[in-house]
Each structure stands twice: as structure tokens, then as C-alpha cells.
Amino acid sequence: MSWTSRDHTTPPPHPGASGLLDAGSTADLARQLDLARDLVTTAVDRAERPYSGATVDQLRRVVDAVDLDSPLASTDEALDELRRVYLDHAVWFHHPRYQAHLNCPVAVPAVVADVVASAVNTSVDTWDQSGAATLVEQRLVAWLADRVGFDSAANGLFTSGGTQSNLHGLLLARERAAADGVPRERWCVVVSERAHFSARRAAHLLGIALDAHGDGVLEVPTDGQGRMVPRALGRTLQSARLRGLHAVAVVATAGTTDHGAVDPLEETAGLARAHGAWVHVDAAYGGGLLLSPTRRHLLRGLELADSVTVDFHKSWFQPVACSALVVRDRELLALGRHHADYLNPEDDGAEPNLVDHSLQTTRRFDALKLWLTLRTLGAAHLGGLLDRVCDLAAATREDLAGDPDFEVVGGTDLSTVLFRYVACAPGLADDVNDAARARLVADGAASVARTRLDGRTWLKLTLLNPATTREDTRHVVDLVRRLAADATASRTLEDAR
């Protein structure tokens, strides 16, 4: 029996053994990591499809059958249970036919670093809880800022994801408007109609013009590729001004969630500045282009931003969670500074307390995984991997453009493919595409996403797995074709009755 999983009545096998990490328990840690390694490597090797196809009810029965008040007799048993409860029905992002959302297969060194960070349990908040981890994070932030094109005045933080990074960016924008004396009734935020919903939500959370002017978020139209139209942005800013509103921030997106489009960053920044607005660029998805050997130019103008979101857990192949907000000027980041007597009082001396600026207090050392990835695989390698999936998206769009059964949205900057089955009566197309996607989910052999554009249903491939080939995308498209044709046939038959 392992003392880490004893039941309530069994005393620890030796005095002082608590099941927690200490100098005496490292042999047990090593043994359990070996077991975990075997478990996860076997599961990854055996995953024949992205998902088992189990239904919610089936899985709920498995999960609910576990008696959480009765620990198992050994780690081996507990891990076997964990396999049944979790791994047998995990959604496998490393599988080449997982092509649905913005999830990536992970860099192996990053997983290793995550284990180390978990075992040490550093909290990157105050210097006295973090030590060198603070410096590692700061070094990476400075490195990232340099890649963005900011100078040494820049600063930033790791966050839990794009949602938090966007919230933080807009918080700073709001604080600056407040510091400039703009009354809150005049605040608004300008986003493109294709911006991620987290930008709109952040504005709501920040109370931006919530009472006086509806939701305080003004939407700018996009072109057919999902890019913000600069002239429309100019009109939106102008009409906001005429209404007495002040644009606290303009949010540009570098890599929209559906189209994978990069907004025109230079024009957007120029227009925003002319209206006194903070420029936040949500590069949660497109931030990976910073490393691309062939596509870095798509981010031209990023250096004009005040704040930038980059999600390493999307296009940098890092495990969740790993994101950063990088800010052009450390004085701007300091707009969100806060102090607590028990933690980081203002007279705390010269040591860096990253909690001064963070929205989180206790914070995982997520920077470590990126560090180890860069120190082993290297940045150029990651950029090459992203290029590969962008190339695959272009090739897949080409396939679809030549296929009369499908309509495809042409052109994207990143690795999404938007398409829909159209070999049916136009009035049936939404229903048929919905049905095909539902059948795929139920089956689990492949995974595609679904979205709505211009009031119609579209299917979406988000290609983030460099191991996915053109054969894989063709296979998935053929699966969709077959399922959609079946759905068309059954609906046509029903109509005929």
C-alpha cells in the first residue's frame, strides 16, 4: 500500500509520513511519476481516434460511480481508475484528426517543466515566494517584448489565458482613461465584429459605459476574410466622438478565432491613436507568427500597440495554461498596481513582486515550460511547426475550392479552414451541416468545429497539429461529405413523404 492513498483509518507507514512532498518522500515521488509516465505514454500511443464517442450519460455514470470518501488501497489502483474515468475518454489533441478548436499537441519539454513546477509548487507572486522564478518570467517577458518590437521600457506578465490577458489589457486602458479624467459615462471600447467574445466580456466586467450607453462595446464591420475594415473603424470612432463617447481602447485581433485573420494593425493603431484610444492587440492565436520564418510580416504594426495578448497554449505548443500580456511601457502596466499590507506593501524594498501587477494572487510558474521549450526545441523550430499547419490550411482550402460539394471561405492568415457542404437544397444546408457535425462528435473518429457566419452554419477545421497531413484533412472532409449526404438523403425522403 502506498501512504499517499491510504484510507482514513490506516495510519501512515512511518512516523511523519504525510503523503506530501518532503525530503523523505522523493523515492515515492519518483515511483509514482514512473507509474504516471507509463500510464500516459500508453494512453497517448493507444489513442486511435480523437474521442471515444462516449455520451455524457455514459461518462457521468463512470464518474459518479467513484466513491470519493473511500480512497483506494494503492496508487496503482487509483491510476487504473483514473484511466477509466479520464484517459479512456479524453479528447486527444495530438491525434491528427482532431481538427476542431484552438488546442495544440504539446511540446514534450513543456510537459516535463510542468511536472517540475508542480512538484516545487512555486507561486510567482511575491519575491519571497518565488525567487528565481520571478526572474525567469521577467526574462521571458523581455524576450517576448523584444520579438513584438517593443523597447526596453516594456513589461508584462504571464496569465492564465487569452481571456485574462484581454481583461488585463482593457483594465489598463480603462485606468488610463480614468487617470486622464475621462468620466466613466463616456467610456466605450471598439472591437471588430469578429473579435473574441472575451474582449466584449472584459468591457462588461470593467463596467465600461454599461449604464449610459447599452453595453459600451462598439462593433466594427469586417471584410469577407474577417478583417476589420480600417475605413469602418474610422467611421465608428468618429461617430462615437460625435455621440460624446471616448474610445477607451480599440481592440485589434491578430488571428481571429474563426477566420484566422489578422486585422490591419498599422492602420488600426494609427486611427486609434488619433482618437486618443489605447491599442490592445489580441494576438492570442496569431502570436505564434512572431516565430514564423515566413509569416512574421503579417504582424507588422504589432509594435504600435499599447498591450498585446499572446497565448503560448495555442500556437506555441504549450500545455494549458500559458499566456502573457505584454505592455509597451512599464508605467502603463503600473496603472493596475495594487498593494496589500500582508503581502506586498509599498515599502517592501527593491525586490520585484510580480503580484503588484497581476490580476491573480497565487500564480503558477507557467513561464517555466516555455523556458524549457525554448532551451531545447528552440524558437525557430516552433515557428516552423506553425508554418507547417498554416501551409496545410492553405492546401486544404485549395482542395475544398475545387470540390463542388463544398463552399469554402477563401484566404486566411493562420490555420483555420471554414467550409460548408452545399450539395443539397440551399434551404437544407444549415441543417445538414449541423447534422454532419453532430454525427462526427457522436462517433469520435474525427473532430471539427462549427460556427455561424452571416446567419449560416459553417464547419471549421483549426489545424494546429504539425503531424496532421493533407491526407488527414481530405479524410475528414470525406467523412463530412458522407455524413452530410446521408443527412440530405434522409431529409429529402422525409420531405417526399
Ligand X SMILES: Cc1ncc(COP(=O)(O)O)c(C=O)c1O
Please, which residue, 163 or 222, has the CB nearer to ligand X?
163
Cell of 364: 503558477
Whole-number Cα distances in Å, 210 to 186, 332, 413: 10, 24, 34
- Using the rule CB under 6 A, is 163 a contact of ligand X? yes
Q: Which of 311, 356, 366, 413 binds ligand X (CB under 6 A)?
A: 311
Per DSSP, which regions of 142-241 are E strands? 155-159, 187-192, 217-220
Give the residue, chosen from 92, 285, 312, 317, that forms a contact with ligand X under the rule CB under 6 A.
285
| Closest approach of ligand X to the CB of residue 52, in Å | 24
Find out whether 299 and 179 touch, Cβ atoms under 8 Å. Answer: no
How many Cβ atoms are within 10 Å of 229's Cβ, its own excluded? 18
Binding to ligand X by residue 284, rule CB under 6 A?
yes
Closer CB to ligand X, 221 or 352, in the complex: 221
Smallest gap, in angstroms, from Cβ of residue 284 to ligand X? 3
What kind and span of H or E run contains 69? none
Of 180 and 197, which CB lies nearer to ligand X in the complex structure? 197
Which amino acid appears at position 150 of this protein?
F
Give the x/- contact pattern for ligand X in 248-277, rule: CB under 6 A. Answer: -----x-x-x--------------------
Q: Is 444 in the site for ligand X (CB under 6 A)?
A: no
Using omega within 30 degrees of 0 as the cis cutoff, is the peptide bond preceding 73 cis?
A: no
Q: Which is nearer to ligand X, 260 or 466 (CB)?
A: 260
Helix (H, G, I), strand (E, B) or coil at 456: strand
Side-chain-facing half-sphere of 145: CA atoms under 13 Å: 23
Residues 368-427 that bind ligand X (CB under 6 A): none
Region of 31-39, 134-142, 158-166, 430-438 interacting with ligand X (CB under 6 A): 158-166
Give the strands of the sheet with 416-421, arranged side by side: 406-408, 416-421, 456-462, 449-453
Torsion sign, CA atoms 398, 399, 405, 408: negative
Alpha carbon separation from 384 to 44, 53, 373, 381, 390 (Å, rounded): 24, 33, 14, 5, 10
Choice from 75, 323, 353, 457 touching ligand X (CB under 6 A)? 323
Contact yes or no for 159/359 (Cβ under 8 A): yes
How is 457-471 classified by DSSP, letter by letter?
EEEEEE---TT--HH
Chain positions 95 to 154 lying near ligand X, rule: CB under 6 A, are 102
d(CA 25, CA 17) in angstroms, rounded, equals 8
Site string for ligand X, 165-194 (x = CB under 6 A): -x----------------------------
Residue from 32, 122, 198, 318 that binds ligand X (CB under 6 A)?
198
- Closest to ligand X by CB, 25 or 451: 451
Task: Identify which range of 32-40, 66-74, 281-289, 367-375 contacts ligand X by CB under 6 A.
Answer: 281-289
Number of residues that bind ligand X (CB under 6 A): 15
With respect to ligand X, which residue has the nearer C-beta, 83 or 101? 101
* Contact residues: ligand X, CB under 6 A: 102, 161-163, 166, 196, 198, 253, 255, 257, 282, 284-285, 311, 323
